[in-house]
Amino acid sequence: MSTAKTISSALISVFSKDGLEPIVQKLHEHGVTLYSTGGTETFIKDLGIPVVPVEDVTSYPSILGGRVKTLHPKVFGGILNRQDHEGDVQQMTEYNIPQIDLVIVDLYPFEKTVASGASEADIIEKIDIGGISLIRAAAKNFKDTVIVASVDDYALFLETITNNNCATTLEERRLFATKAFHTSSHYDTAIFNYFNTNETYYKESVANGQVLRYGENPHQKGFFFGEFDKMFSKLHGKELSYNNLLDVDAAVNLIAEFKNDAPTFAILKHNNACGIATRETVKEAYLDALAGDPTSAFGGVLITNTKIDRAAAEEITKLFCEVVIAPAYDDDAVAILEEKKNRIILVQHDVALPEKQVRTCLNGLLVQDRDNITDNKEHFKTVTITAPTEQEVEDLVFASKVCKHTKSNTIVFAKNKQLLASGTGETSRVDALRHAVEKAGSFNFSLEGAVMASDAFFPFPDCVELAKNAGITAVVQPGGSIKDELSINYCNENGVSMVFTGTRHFKH
């Protein structure tokens, strides 16, 4: 038995008329009876195409300021009837209910209205009732009824009926029903989140998933759900991978700490900064960032808070790197960077990041607020006899920003607003410190007069002792250990300054 059904009647009630005209024309060519309401009815009439007002079917006008137009048994009976069900067929005749084979709906723009800063009264009026009901009814009855639930699906539907003489298969109707249920669930999620004040409820709906080449490893499938094109303009290069995106995310979060600072350049590898520096020019910032760890920089992600000029591009292009990110580029800089075919060049736009962070955990999700606290000198409480110098304070702020975006346990060494070394992701803070000392030495950095940042408190004085022996003169840490005095006393006895921030910055 064929599952193909020819459309003979359609109910069209849409907010957006964009792209609707060719569909209406095509339906008219095939002799489809059109039913409609309000502005859509006027739109169809203006095309010179016959249309039956819904109130002629229901014997009720649009009431309550347009809040009730299609909510009527004759409308929903026409959509929900089962054409192979004897009882339904009899009742369709008994109550003079017209068959409706196709429903086209485009909902009121609730999300756009909220985003516009409209009043609550205007927002409430953009909660679609009739449209959402039509969508669910037609999608439920996809066996007999076609549902086109969004302007985004107009093109696909027009192609379908053009290729099939205004008929659809069961598989096509199921596909449109799937899209419709996505539309309705996404819409309801947006409404719920507008009203929701209970943080123990979590709902999210993200459309337009992008298929990636693979996930973290080639045997894993990978997808990105988000609006990448709002955050970046891609000027050049291959498609971004799952791992590229993780590094880009880490880079964007790190450089945000330096948004209003002098030219700052960071190089990241495996979500951690292997080099970062703040200088007078972007070229100088890049070169000093690269000096922090030129070995790890190979194949890394590069990001800056300022425009990349020709001088910087000429240096950057000497390095094999996966991604370069900047808020702007000089034209000749882009031309230089494009010389490497696969290098990804992104322009970063000023877009707010989500306030909630989400990750899978066990058989559920972990959700937390974004760490929006950036340590600065106003947060510093000097707890030692010796206070940090003005230059040390600047370096402590710099080191603390980097430390916040480095995997725990972490220790960061910095001097003159340059990352000298870091110990990242260690199971022991002492091991992180030893690793950082060893790494600084491997790249010929002297730690004399450098500062140290820690993402969490020191339970024992061993870390400050090791740091002092390496040449560190100032330390920033959150404090809060019951044995803080042990570290403070060691610093006092050895002329090291230490400040507490009161804020821990674990990053797992």
d(CA 364, CA 379): 36
Residues 6+ apart with CB under 8 A from 238: 341, 342, 344
What is the spatial distance between Cα 324 and Cα 302, in angstroms, rounded to a whole number? 5
* 99 touches 8 (CB < 8 A): yes
Contacts of residue 326, defined as CB under 8 A and 6 or more positions apart, other chains included, come to 303, 304, 306, 307, 308, 346, 347, 348
d(CA 115, CA 194): 11
Geometric angle at alpha carbon 382, from 428 and 450, rounded to 5°: 55
Assigned token pair, 394:
């600047």
Mapped onto helix, strand or coil, the DSSP state of residue 385 is coil
What are the structure tokens assigned to 226, written together?
């988000």
Query: Is the Cβ–Cβ distance between 276 and 293 less than 8 Å?
Result: no
CB atoms within 10 A of CB 236: 17
What is the separation of C-alpha 503 from the centre of its chain, rounded to a whole number of angstroms? 26
Whole-number Cα distances in Å, 441 to 250, 406, 446, 471, 476: 26, 20, 7, 12, 22
Segment 57-62 long-range contacts (CB within 8 Å, at least 24 positions apart): 57/98, 62/37, 62/38
Question: And the tokens for 152?
Answer: 């985004």
Q: 177: exposed, middle or buried (C-beta count within 10 Å: 0-12, 13-18, 19+)?
A: buried
Q: Give the CA dihedral 458, 434, 286, 259, nearest 10 degrees.
A: -10
Q: Rg (Cα) of the chain, in Å, rounded?
A: 31
Q: Which residues contact 392 (CB under 8 A, 6 or more apart)?
A: 451, 473, 474, 497
**Cα(274)–Cα(263) distance, integer angstroms:** 17
**431 within 8 A of 454, measured Cβ to Cβ:** no
Q: Mind telling me the catalytic residues?
A: 140, 270
Euclidean distance between CA atoms 321 and 334, whole angstroms = 15
